[in-house]
Amino acid sequence: MADNKFADLAEINVNKYTEKKGNLTYLSWAWAVDQLMRHDPAANWVYGEPHRWNDTVMVFCTVTAFGKSMTCQLPVMDHRNKAIPNPDAFAVNTAMQRCLVKAIALHGLGLYIYAGEDLPEAGKVTPTAGAWESLEDDERVFLEGIADEVHALLANNDVALACALIDSKNLDADEKVALWTRFDSKQRSAMKKQYAAKDAFDYDAALDAMADAVSEAQLKAIFAPAWQRAKKDGDKETMDSLKANYDTFKAKFAAPEGKTI
């Protein structure tokens, strides 16, 4: 039986090569291409002609690997997963790179990201196959102790406290992956929702408040924390969008030419 290249790629844990922007998770396009070419040096891709729907744009990418072509489409979106009206060249280019990654995922690499999963599945084996087994005995004892405490909190529906407990342990990426294997899907789902609620920042509300600001001081007071949060998350697109809107709204408070306030 021929090797299942899809299964091989689907088992790769890509989490170390992802980044969060707002509520979305993105896989590095350069790393995805690197992995694809290592598995199939003859792989190639082409972009289709972008399609426009009213003032929004859809991009397309076809990736051919292992003798099979897979096509994916993606709207030109912002960090809130909303289509951008009249996107500029930078936004279209960003969407094309993300569409490339998504088309590569159709061949298996990082596909679980789009299914909302935290870690890859390998047949009927745990999604983090090998993560726990690779630990030293003392590391397992340490993480088992944390898992027992978390289980007790989850049993009392103290999901927020359970997440706070995990955060307080300052675990590295590999330890977090291993710890995650100690919980069932229901427990993981509850904690994922808690983390999402804690981490979410309502940029839409911030933009609406900026638009309704009645003074430059109020505008700046709304803009500053939103921009700092985007900077903390490494979300340059949102930073640029906030700054552009700030400059636009700020203009309405400028004194008319030839006059002073």
24-33 pLDDT, tens digit per residue, is 788 999 999 9
Distances (CA, A) of 128 to 11, 36, 61, 110, 123: 9, 21, 30, 14, 11
pLDDT score, position 122: 42
pLDDT score, position 51: 94
Range ranked top by mean pLDDT from 17-21, 47-51, 206-210: 47-51
Q: Residue 23 above 70 pLDDT?
A: no
- Pairing of β 51-53 and β 44-47: unpaired
Average pLDDT over residues 192-220: 79
pLDDT score, position 66: 94
Q: At CA 203, angle to CA 86 and CA 215, rounded to 5?
A: 95
pLDDT score, position 175: 82
Q: Per-residue pLDDT tens for 121-149?
A: 443 333 445 667 777 888 889 999 999 99
Name the architecture of domain 5-114: 2-Layer Sandwich (3.30)
pLDDT score, position 50: 94
Looking at per-residue pLDDT, the higher value among 257 and 103 belongs to 103
Q: At CA 113, angle to CA 108 and CA 116, rounded to 5?
A: 130
Packing angle, helices 203-212 and 236-251, rounded to 10: 10
Contact status, residue 77 vs residue 84, Cβ threshold 8 Å: yes
Q: Residue 221 above 90 pLDDT?
A: no
Residue indicated by tokens 């309502």: 202
Contact status, residue 57 vs residue 87, Cβ threshold 8 Å: yes
pLDDT score, position 192: 83
- Tokens coding 153: 């909190």
Q: Residue 177 above 70 pLDDT?
A: yes
Bridge partners of residue 21, in order along the sequence = 24
Q: Residue 1 above 60 pLDDT?
A: no
Query: In angstroms, rounded to a whole number, what is the distance separating the alpha carbons of residues 261 and 106?
Result: 59
pLDDT score, position 230: 79
Q: Is 109 left (phi over 0), alpha (psi -120 to 50) or beta?
A: beta
70: confidence class by pLDDT, cuts 50, 70, 90: very high
Q: Residue 76 above 50 pLDDT?
A: yes
2: confidence class by pLDDT, cuts 50, 70, 90: low
**Which residue spans of the chain are classified as CATH 3.30.160?**
5-114
* C-alpha torsion sign, points 2, 111, 86, 242: negative
